């Protein structure tokens, strides 16, 4: 396996990978397949990347395992603002969110910081809400 192509957007791949931790099986499976497909387009395999990243060895610009430690969300208000927007979107609440999702959002709202996986989930919900609004406005 060679060096990672500069065309790979690491932040985008990180967001896709974070969705693999979704509580929704369909979303997790779709994210896993998307990640494998994007990496495969650059001649990379997920097992090789994980092995190199965790072991901290080899070339390819990988850093040691310490770089894989979870980071806190940047601001304690960022996630609250996003969650407020989701919970105040009546159409999104009624058409997309389940009771369990609403309960989880309310629980996350009370947290001081969100880990990257939860923040990615909230960001994904915002994206879905935007898509739903755009679909309604185009009709």
Instruction: Give pLDDT tens digits for 96-124.
Output: 889 999 999 999 998 888 888 888 899 88
Query: 23 and 50 in one domain?
Result: yes
Alpha-carbon torsion angle 25, 26, 27, 28, nearest 10: 50
User: What is d(CA 108, CA 22) in angstroms, rounded to the nearest whole number?
Assistant: 14
Query: 117 and 82 in one domain?
Result: yes
Last residue of a domain, one of 21, 36, 68: 68
Specify the number of domains making up the chain: 2
Query: 62 and 83 in one domain?
Result: no
Q: Is pLDDT above 90 for 75?
A: no
Query: 46 and 89 in one domain?
Result: no
Q: Is residue 2 part of a domain?
A: no
25 vs 2 pLDDT, higher one: 25
Q: Is pLDDT above 60 for 74?
A: no
Query: 101 and 63 in one domain?
Result: no
Rounded to two decimals, the pTM is 0.45
Cβ(72)–Cβ(118) below 8 Å? no
Q: Is residue 29 part of a domain?
A: yes
Q: Is residue 73 part of a domain?
A: no
User: What is d(CA 65, CA 56) in angstroms, rounded to the nearest whole number?
Assistant: 6
Q: Is pLDDT above 60 for 46?
A: yes
Query: 55 and 36 in one domain?
Result: yes
For 19-28, the pLDDT digits (tens) are: 888 888 888 8
List the domain range (segments joined by +) for residue 94. 78-138
Query: 91 and 120 in one domain?
Result: yes
Last residue of a domain, one of 68, 87, 112: 68
Q: Distances from the Cα of 66 to the Cαs of 4, 63, 73, 119, 130, in angstroms?
A: 20, 8, 18, 20, 35
Query: 97 and 129 in one domain?
Result: yes
User: What is d(CA 15, CA 17) in angstroms, rounded to the nearest whole number?
Assistant: 5
């Amino acid at each position: 396996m060679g060096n990672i192509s500069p065309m790979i957007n690491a932040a985008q791949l990180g967001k896709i990978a974070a969705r693999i931790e979704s509580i929704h099986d369909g979303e997790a499976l779709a994210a896993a397949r998307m990640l494998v497909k994007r990496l495969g387009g650059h001649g990379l395999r997920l097992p090789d990347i994980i092995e190199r990243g965790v072991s901290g060895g080899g070339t390819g610009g990988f850093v040691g395992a310490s770089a894989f430690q979870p980071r806190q969300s940047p601001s304690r208000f960022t996630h609250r603002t996003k969650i407020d927007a989701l919970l105040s979107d009546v159409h999104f609440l009624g058409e997309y969110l389940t009771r369990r999702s609403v309960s989880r959002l309310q629980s996350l709202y009370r947290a001081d910081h969100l880990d990257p996986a939860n923040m990615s989930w909230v960001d994904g919900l915002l994206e879905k809400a935007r898509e739903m609004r755009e679909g309604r406005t185009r009709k």
